[in-house]
Structure 1
Amino acid sequence: MGVWSHRFGLVLPLMLAAFPCIAGGPLHAQCKVEWTFGIPCMNVYLELVSQIKKWTTADNCVNGGEKCLYTLKSANKHFIVAQHTTPVHKYVDDLTFKLSSSFNNGSCYVSGFSVSEVWYAVFDYGTNYCNLHNLIEGSGLDKVSGYSESTSNFNCTQYSKANCTIY
């Protein structure tokens, strides 16, 4: 073992233990989620836009939740852009939803992405995942036929720590 590897051989393993996102997850607080819905994209679009508009005020934040302070920035049947502001610290996360129709079976495929605007945000305890998931659940889209969701700790900062019932 060379001098460098002998002296510094533990540096990388210690960094990976301290910062697990380095081991294969995002290096910035963000989340990517893929969904399939067994309904047309126009229905998904209408439900998501409606839910974002329902949760624009701080009313749902009263009991400590995060199901509030969403802002719709732009929307068309293929792409939705929104923001979510955390009620306590006022951090802003940017959200996008890309909707694609399947002509074979009438299903809709959606790719969602949430990213913290704060450049130094690394750990978010699953907040960016919850930004997206709460809209899907709040709109009832998680109950439609053919629903599926796909993500992981690799795609979402601290996904396994997410507790969306409080966010």
Structure 2
Amino acid sequence: MCGFVFQLVAALPLSILANHTSPDGLQTETITFTFSPTILTGGCRVSGLSSSLGFTTLLDGGLNYCNLFNLLSGDGLTSAPGYMELTNEWACLGYGLATCKA
């Protein structure tokens, strides 16, 4: 997340909306986390979406995936009991090339 700015836009009962901006202000992404209950475990499922507002390429190191991963790992949530990541290259373009640096 080194030098990147995350700004909370809204915290709603079932979602969190934020913006992510690079230090030079040239890259901006919108981030949405949506929460839904899980019936079998009584837990919570979180779906994350990071969308670039400007031009991006396949060579951006998986920027949108890293936005989400860095937020979760920076807060220690990737080590929380029951944490499970479910994604792939089809669901998250650039996932296979991601080079996240928290």
Partner SS, residue 130 of structure 1: helix
Question: Identity of aligned pairs, percent?
Answer: 37
Q: 1:23-67 CA distances to partner (integer Å, 9 max, x unpaired)?
A: xxxxxxxxxxxxxxxxxxxxxxxxxxxxxxxx8xxxx42xxxxxx
Matched pairs, number: 101
Q: As a proportion of its length, which structure holds more helix?
A: 1
Partner SS, residue 29 of structure 2: strand
Unaligned runs of 5+ in 2: none
Which runs of structure 2 are paired with 1:113-132 in the superposition (5 Å)? 113-118=49-54, 120-123=55-58, 124-132=60-68
Q: In structure 1, what residue type is equivalent to 2:47? A: S
What TM-score do you get using the length of structure 1 for normalisation? 0.55
Q: Which has the larger radius of gyration?
A: 1
Q: As a proportion of its length, which structure holds more strand?
A: 2
Partner SS, residue 150 of structure 1: coil
Q: 1:108-160 CA distances to partner (integer Å, 9 max, x unpaired)?
A: 10110001001x32423200000000011011111111110011111222211
Do the aligned residues in 1 keep the contact of 2:51 with 2:64 (CA within 8 Å)? Answer: yes
- Where do 4+ consecutive residues of structure 1 move more than 4 Å? none
The answer to whether 1:135 aligns with 2:71 is yes
Higher relative contact order (CA 8 A, sep 6+): 1
Q: 1:146 aligns with which of 68, 79, 82?
A: 82
